[in-house]
Structure 1
């Protein structure tokens, strides 16, 4: 029987099931408000009809109550709106679970981009040896961050997991019980999580998903591509930021960092113990049983905090000895299970994930100066007394050759002490869990060579006196920083002492690009093109100095910001960009949506591996054509001008502050970090964090970061009769094609009818029209550019998933806008902030954030 189209599979296995189970869900009697489940579809229909008639959200809500619930008191109306929010939050969970359950049916698990497909393609083209050579060096690292773009508490994530399995099994009794449980489980967090809480919730994925999916991928590669031979390279690994990311988060202390590393170690050993315990029941052979029992006993000692001498090296060597005996004397019985555990030890060691430390260069500068002043005052002779009178070049020379030790007791500033203690904590973690446990330090907002050398010196003076076993990764974020990056790296590569350090690190240099502030600073097209050019220039300067550069992408950079397929982005890069490793941050709902189940985790990891290898296997040259470079540069500059003018508009910040949900993000208690960087009373653009910034546009259904400036740039080519130039760019550049496809997803998730009423607002009407006109222009010209009749025409299943999710949350968005409008009216009347009515509507806005963000999971 031929495989049905992806859209058909989606409709049959996701949409139909959702409609059936949702009909059960809305009839469950959860609360004292009668007929809530029956009223919600009526409210949904009122919203759809109202927006089609271009009514505003207030009119829609009032129409609903007048038509269906005329006898309700105002208080009862408010209660019903809150009940609707609760229901819709849970409908999103139900849809998530059904979509997760159907993942292996909707997606072809052996299709293009999977390892099986890659292996078959390599075999067919006589490139299997080339594939092996490549996999001996190539790595993929997904780095989990605590950046809060998801609102599900752990209890709800557990229900999603169980509901996914029950849906897959079509177990109606279990589904019914889980839906009832879901109805009674609170979504709201009454207090912010600590950084340790965030770490624990993400370690759940390591323990329950990645341990298995990474292991099975590695097993497959070893068995099917390397014919069972040992591979020295680990190929896939996990980076981890919760507990190590200090940038803008004063709550991440050295104690938290140590505690998180300890939890990671304990968790992976717990997983090894479970595997060893299962193997003990099978390995009942002479010469083996006592060895596996001894290992199980030692692992249990570690778990229960008893003294154990077991090292990861001894664990691995014992398992290999057991494997050899099985092969020699026991006909390889249970060979695969033993080998699989050996592979997991190779992948995860006693550290499980690579814990990164991150801090802002401006903070480092402050800590460094405190340390220098304390050292000079103490008469240590580590720094010359005239240090601050020296030129930057002279300072860099001193920092390069620095020797000695800083006694932390001379440092009096509490923040400086915490920062330096964190550097000592890295060394402690390496000593206990192995070097891989914590061996990278990211400097965000890196602007100069001095920024790198200050950290270089601090690490040596405080913790790594003999040998610096840690990589320093500068993060270049803004457009200006991206342009300056190659010159900074050249200075570092030609610094004799830094070059010696790199040699001890295998002549590899990690550089992170355009994380949070790339798109926020430069707009969609410019941020992406600036990063692409920076990668080319950094590749050139690195190769010239014999350095392999490893690019580490933030989700704020090219792989995301417009939504879209990350692996398409990596597969679109040409030979002018180093591609020995793929590294990117994964955050919030992206973790649960792309990697939350064994199926989705395995599929998306395989896609990343294949996309990274794609460039080396591609017979066609992916280099950017010269004429294309001119066109994309011009497009980016025009887009940047449009975005910069928009950003500089006097209404830009006030609009976000008064018309969006920006200020409510801090009240959701989803992340441990403060919601803005600075301490200024008013809102300053530079202090805006990327996630509330992007999230606020998403809640408005305006999605500015994914398209603004694209339409204006394309319009110039239409107006001058040169539109075929951009059409040719789209046809001949995979990179540009990927950008446009990602932008299409942002446009398709925009819904301006929701906020059309703002066009009449005396303060913000004109500003709203600027956004709407750019949306219309971008949509129209992207369709003309692609030749599509509708957005996302080439991704019907993805488009259908978005359409269902947008439909589910439409009433939620309507309620949110209704509440925001009520708040504005009350504030204009001079109502005090502690007024009960104002508090209720503010609570309504905050609660409505949850379902809207969670429903956006396929923007990942």
Structure 2
């Protein structure tokens, strides 16, 4: 990224000035002056050192402490909105720089598909190799609804409008009048933003989460994913002299957990699963109808001038369009018929009325494949009379969209906890008279009993038996899943994820439930209609994952199921819980080793492995660059198949802007392509592995000693972070804890990481590394050159350290010390915060020694500049959050204080960007 960011700074100044103008107009000169004084003092504090810094900090604290509650609320809003506006300017700058590289045309930027294809071409890959890869590849980002997205879509809409105006200002030559009008519109949008409530006043429902996620299809996916495919086909044709590159298989598709992930979320019901698929279908079919309408306006070709194919003429006749004005316009008539059939589909499937209404009544499509067949008739006919250029436009993109999205838009996953499955299966077995106490059986007895039951076609459930509410709910959800398969096809709901999978019986129990609703058909050659996907997420589960899967693969019945699924097994690996369980370094190393062992097992069994990476936004939850993360996977573990969760505020930062969205979609595909097909330089050695293993053990000990073995650590955590206040925010339908227990073990990993980000420690992304290196070097006094070599040559180790450096650059001990003061137990505070300070100093010291850098972000000047610019605007928010927490917890718990705290949470999350 170029260091020269003059235009970026101009955008930041412009937006800051407009926000100031709005603040002055709405709240008066006095408030404006106070905000401006606070801003200047915060900047002075960040730029000063020594005595000057102490003086600046004192001035800043006096200014903030002197605010009334009403003034505090306005100041919080001002600095929060500045963080949001700075994000907009930064995103615009990234698009600007990317466009500059593309316009220069010297080379394809790294992370693009053009770059990946050029690398493969230069390495000697053939067009046939690419064809085979695309035929079997499977890449899927999966949107999930986790409670770190604190931004309302009303706010997001205003921000998108501001970004659009900045893009126009940047890319167009404007007359003075146009420039003045644009400035006026910018002011209006910032004013709208200021007057729009930043927080939700009601708890977010699953239905709201579904709608929020669908907005990103409107913003980005529906347009950008088809365009990406078209550009890829053109690139393959150009770089590999491949004339038959059109119609690449739909190897890149979208997935979703929203409405299907019921693990720990009692609000995900059968109705919500049905709502999710219906809303998805309504959105994508409505999009197709709009595209057909526009296509009809474009394809005005006359039969007096061109000769269409017999198939197209037949399609036009079946439209029953009697208008004399279109008598000689076969494409328009054909499209009217196609539109009528799709409108009938929308009405019969979803009860939707279309606008405009269809001209004639036609039968609904039975599937998206029938719709696609009609589009291909249009395409083929256009190419017969020299109109290939017309086929390459909107029709091509629509054709590609149907291949990607079908009538279901995104593949819905179901997820449930293994503990729930065993209770439900136990109840079914007991009521059916098969086993009175399934839960009392050991693992071998459970597996034997389930195997026998799975060979029988007899159902266990009966409409004449009264079951518990939980069992009824689980069966109802599975019945809806079966109905989704019947209507939309198996690709609409192809996956079932099992949380806390720890045994063969956990997999077989899902088979029993699937059999109850017809998603598993027993017999000599059983047919399983869904992928059963175990999720391994704790350190102990990850250590045991290959043993569990080996037992499953050796089970004749389970192996038959895999054959019915194309000899493919998907396995999900959890980054969040493994990190909370064992710390950053250990979690990443255990995950890396798990991938290697699973890959070796699947290769030996001739099973195609697909890994599903449960990554979050924060580095402690597997965050960081997806492109770098995929390139750093264990060699051979990707092999063209990867799914990855996109969570929380990361969805917004990646996909709310179409250009950013396209870049992120491409980077996933490019990294997977390179990791699968580029020559692998396997630099991993026994020395490297032994070093990381030893480092991991030391880091694990240090992390567990602090988090799980320090008496009253949970008390300290809850006192010094806003975890309780985060749990009150209306930012997700899922509870923050799996139970009412205050234990760290029962807290969900997402609010765990989010809370540390708020107090500027981001501890899950680095704690334990410094102690680990210190201990290892004590055992290996001459070991530093080896660690430097590992950083230089081994992508896995380099990526871990790169992410850790980014997290530490956002960490601020001075700010964190203010939060530590919220712990009233002086001895506990001194003990724990002292350990954190010592560990951070050690970690930075050893990181600098290993990377041989003078600064944490010496190799990332753009990111360093971004963080440096943001800190002065985050400092006041942190200070005010601490003061507000003190007041709130002391009993001044009125609504305005609560609102102010929640606004600081929002502003800090926006400023840090990947803290959730």
TM over 0.5: yes
Match of residue 63 from structure 1: 62
| 1:687 aligns to 2:730 (yes or no) | no
The separation in 1 between residues aligned to 2:820 and 2:439, in whole angstroms, is 55
Question: Deviations for 1:624-671, whole angstroms, at most 9, x for unmatched residues?
Answer: 211100001001111001001011211320111111101111221010
Query: Is the CA contact (8 Å cut-off) linking 1:236 and 1:347 kept in structure 2?
Result: yes
Question: Deviations for 1:408-456, whole angstroms, at most 9, x for unmatched residues?
Answer: 5524211221111111111111112221111111111111111111111
The separation in 2 between residues aligned to 1:557 and 1:176, in whole angstroms, is 32
| 1:820 aligns to 2:885 (yes or no) | yes
**Partner-residue secondary structure (3-state), 1:206:** helix
The separation in 2 between residues aligned to 1:513 and 1:411, in whole angstroms, is 37
How far off its partner does 1:79 sit? 1.0
Going from structure 1 to structure 2, the CA distance change for 1:557 and 1:520 (only over 3 Å counts) comes to farther
How far off its partner does 1:277 sit? 0.8
Match of residue 18 from structure 2: 24
How far off its partner does 1:316 sit? 0.6
The separation in 2 between residues aligned to 1:652 and 1:759, in whole angstroms, is 12
The separation in 2 between residues aligned to 1:759 and 1:601, in whole angstroms, is 39
Alignment: residue pair count? 829
Q: Which residue among 704, 716, 736 is the counterpart of 1:655? A: 716
Match of residue 92 from structure 1: 83
Q: Structure 1 stretch 644-653 or stretch 246-255: which is displaced more?
A: 644-653
Match of residue 31 from structure 2: 36
Query: Is the CA contact (8 Å cut-off) linking 1:701 and 1:754 kept in structure 2?
Result: yes
The separation in 2 between residues aligned to 1:409 and 1:84, in whole angstroms, is 63
How far off its partner does 1:485 sit? 0.6
| 1:491 aligns to 2:551 (yes or no) | yes
Query: Is the CA contact (8 Å cut-off) linking 1:548 and 1:578 kept in structure 2?
Result: no
How far off its partner does 1:92 sit? 2.0
Q: CA RMSD, aligned part only? A: 2.4
Match of residue 73 from structure 1: none
The separation in 2 between residues aligned to 1:397 and 1:232, in whole angstroms, is 45
The separation in 2 between residues aligned to 1:33 and 1:653, in whole angstroms, is 44
**Partner-residue secondary structure (3-state), 1:356:** strand
**Partner-residue secondary structure (3-state), 1:151:** coil
The separation in 2 between residues aligned to 1:558 and 1:628, in whole angstroms, is 26
Query: Is the CA contact (8 Å cut-off) linking 1:478 and 1:521 kept in structure 2?
Result: yes
Going from structure 1 to structure 2, the CA distance change for 1:626 and 1:329 (only over 3 Å counts) comes to same
Match of residue 211 from structure 2: 200
Match of residue 2 from structure 2: 6
| 1:189 aligns to 2:184 (yes or no) | no
How far off its partner does 1:160 sit? 1.4
Q: Which residue among 115, 118, 136 is the counterpart of 1:117? A: 115
Query: Is the CA contact (8 Å cut-off) linking 2:576 and 2:622 kept in structure 1?
Result: no
The separation in 2 between residues aligned to 1:57 and 1:273, in whole angstroms, is 60
Which runs of no fewer than 5 residues in structure 1 stay unpaired? Answer: 70-75, 377-382, 827-834
Going from structure 1 to structure 2, the CA distance change for 1:653 and 1:619 (only over 3 Å counts) comes to same
Query: Is the CA contact (8 Å cut-off) linking 2:617 and 2:624 kept in structure 1?
Result: no
| 1:449 aligns to 2:515 (yes or no) | no
Going from structure 1 to structure 2, the CA distance change for 1:375 and 1:620 (only over 3 Å counts) comes to closer
Q: Structure 1 stretch 530-539 or stretch 850-859: which is displaced more?
A: 850-859
| 1:155 aligns to 2:215 (yes or no) | no
Match of residue 855 from structure 1: 911
**Partner-residue secondary structure (3-state), 1:27:** helix
Match of residue 356 from structure 2: none
Going from structure 1 to structure 2, the CA distance change for 1:146 and 1:737 (only over 3 Å counts) comes to same
Q: Which residue among 792, 806, 824 is the counterpart of 1:745? A: 806
The separation in 1 between residues aligned to 2:266 and 2:539, in whole angstroms, is 27
Match of residue 777 from structure 1: 842
Query: Is the CA contact (8 Å cut-off) linking 2:261 and 2:414 kept in structure 1?
Result: yes
Match of residue 831 from structure 1: none
Match of residue 478 from structure 1: 538
**Partner-residue secondary structure (3-state), 2:26:** coil
Match of residue 693 from structure 2: 633
The separation in 2 between residues aligned to 1:714 and 1:48, in whole angstroms, is 35
Going from structure 1 to structure 2, the CA distance change for 1:780 and 1:408 (only over 3 Å counts) comes to farther
How far off its partner does 1:556 sit? 4.6
**Partner-residue secondary structure (3-state), 1:513:** strand
Q: Which residue among 86, 94, 105 is the counterpart of 1:103? A: 94
How far off its partner does 1:693 sit? 0.5
| 1:698 aligns to 2:722 (yes or no) | no
Q: Which residue among 508, 523, 529 is the counterpart of 2:583? A: 523
Query: Is the CA contact (8 Å cut-off) linking 1:207 and 1:268 kept in structure 2?
Result: no
Q: Which residue among 532, 539, 553 is the counterpart of 2:613? A: 553
Note the 1:88-487 alignment, pairs <5 A. Answer: 88-107=79-98, 108=101, 110-129=108-127, 130-170=129-169, 171-226=182-237, 227=243, 229-231=245-247, 233-285=249-301, 286=303, 287=313, 288-304=331-347, 305=351, 308-310=363-365, 311-336=367-392, 337-376=394-433, 383-384=434-435, 391-401=442-452, 402=454, 403=456, 404-405=458-459, 406-464=461-519, 466=521, 467-487=527-547
The separation in 1 between residues aligned to 2:492 and 2:96, in whole angstroms, is 37
Q: Structure 1 stretch 174-183 or stretch 99-108: which is displaced more?
A: 99-108
Going from structure 1 to structure 2, the CA distance change for 1:599 and 1:128 (only over 3 Å counts) comes to farther
The separation in 2 between residues aligned to 1:639 and 1:645, in whole angstroms, is 10
Query: Is the CA contact (8 Å cut-off) linking 1:639 and 1:709 kept in structure 2?
Result: yes
Relative to the length of structure 2, the TM-score reads 0.87
Q: Structure 1 stretch 737-746 or stretch 415-424: which is displaced more?
A: 415-424
| 1:668 aligns to 2:668 (yes or no) | no
Going from structure 1 to structure 2, the CA distance change for 1:848 and 1:757 (only over 3 Å counts) comes to closer
Query: Is the CA contact (8 Å cut-off) linking 1:128 and 1:225 kept in structure 2?
Result: no
**Partner-residue secondary structure (3-state), 1:552:** strand
Query: Is the CA contact (8 Å cut-off) linking 2:145 and 2:647 kept in structure 1?
Result: yes
How far off its partner does 1:335 sit? 0.8
**Partner-residue secondary structure (3-state), 1:781:** helix
